[in-house]
């Protein structure tokens, strides 16, 4: 279930165990907060929930340079529900929400979620006006209102904390293996295949054109990917280009094009998921179509070699 804001939530009397955070990317650190909430809810025969916010608070406090997010609310909700959460609440982050006093935060939650019994957060969680509230204050105010508060310690990987900031930096650098290790699953793009200009087919490499415009853009270039959907759930190896296509047009927005390495069962109008696995090369401008065709053939060979090694 998904609810657009706390004022729209209607729940049963089953005890609610709630994880709170921005959770951009739903990475390993976030899962250390969310999974215990899911487990506690199951033991309690209750509901597990996630309260997250949109837009990022930086959009309110520094609109000239907001934090670029990996996932929009729909994508984040999809990942959270796949993780096993019963309900997701996306609370609009407004000046009114930002102005809630830290001591009033727990009563504000309790007034809107009457079955709330426990709150789960990360150790660096901050809340309330001016970010004055910390996990110690949360524990005190929760206890005063008959609630439990649980704090998950930071998760590290390769000796450094796992954070959304770290994942974003690796994604912009094209380091997909590191990105996916930090996330605990494969970074993905989801969209509906749209009719294209058939240039790939003309070059001998037909592509699926997938409109997709993330707030935070991965590095422009060519990637080894896998593509699937509900009708064809077995992921198929493919090579993708995410870029401006400088050889053939003067685009201003990147486009995602995917060439399936084998027989392609997908067609225009199909919803598909593209899992990003490995960065092959940066985007380049070629002297002409013939040079582009030769490079695409080499990109296909590179992707085939990547998947052959992975078998």
Q: What is the pLDDT of residues 257-287, one digit of tens each?
A: 999 999 999 999 999 999 999 999 999 888 7
135-144 vs 105-112: helix crossing angle, rounded to 10: 50
Res 250: pLDDT: 73
Residue 67: the pLDDT is: 97
Statement: 2-157 belongs to CATH 3.30.1950.10: no
Average pLDDT over residues 232-240: 97
Which CATH class, in words, describes the domain spanning 186-310? Answer: mainly beta
112 vs 100: CA distance, rounded Å: 14
pLDDT reported for residue 263: 94
> 3-class SS at 49?
strand
How far is Cα 207 from Cα 200, in angstroms, rounded to an integer? 6
Q: Rounded mean pLDDT of the chain?
A: 94
Model pLDDT for residues 185-222, shown as the tens digit of each residue? 999 999 999 997 666 556 668 999 999 999 999 999 99
Residue ranges, CATH 2.40.30.30, the chain = 186-310
pTM recorded for the entire structure: 0.94
């Amino acid at each position: 279930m998904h609810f657009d804001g706390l004022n729209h939530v209607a729940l049963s009397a089953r005890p609610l165990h709630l994880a709170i955070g921005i959770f951009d990317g739903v990475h390993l650190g976030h899962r250390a907060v969310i999974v215990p909430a899911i487990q506690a809810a199951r033991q309690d025969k209750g509901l597990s929930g996630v309260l997250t916010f949109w837009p990022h608070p930086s959009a309110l406090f520094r609109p000239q340079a907001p934090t670029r997010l990996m996932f929009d609310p729909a994508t984040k909700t999809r990942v959270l529900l796949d993780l096993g959460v019963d309900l997701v609440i996306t609370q609009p982050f407004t000046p009114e929400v930002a102005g809630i006093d830290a001591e009033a935060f727990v009563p504000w939650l309790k007034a809107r979620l009457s079955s709330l019994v426990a709150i789960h957060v990360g150790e660096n969680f901050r809340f309330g006006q001016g970010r004055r509230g910390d996990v110690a204050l949360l524990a005190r105010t929760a206890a005063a209102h008959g609630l439990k508060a649980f704090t998950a310690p930071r998760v590290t990987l390769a000796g450094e904390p796992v954070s959304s900031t770290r994942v974003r930096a690796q994604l912009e650098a094209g380091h997909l293996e590191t990105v996916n290790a930090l996330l605990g699953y494969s970074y993905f793009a989801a969209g509906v295949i749209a009719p294209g200009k058939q240039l790939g087919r003309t070059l001998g490499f037909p592509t699926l054109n997938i409109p997709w415009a993330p707030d935070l853009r991965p590095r422009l270039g060519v990637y080894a990917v896998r593509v699937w959907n509900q009708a064809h759930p077995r992921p198929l190896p493919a090579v993708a280009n995410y870029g401006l296509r400088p050889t053939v047009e003067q685009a201003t927005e990147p486009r995602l094009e995917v060439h399936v390495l084998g027989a392609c069962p997908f067609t225009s109008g199909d919803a598909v998921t593209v899992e990003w696995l490995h960065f092959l090369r940066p985007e380049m401008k070629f002297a002409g179509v013939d040079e582009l065709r030769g490079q695409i053939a080499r990109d296909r060979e590179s992707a085939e070699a990547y998947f052959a090694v992975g078998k």
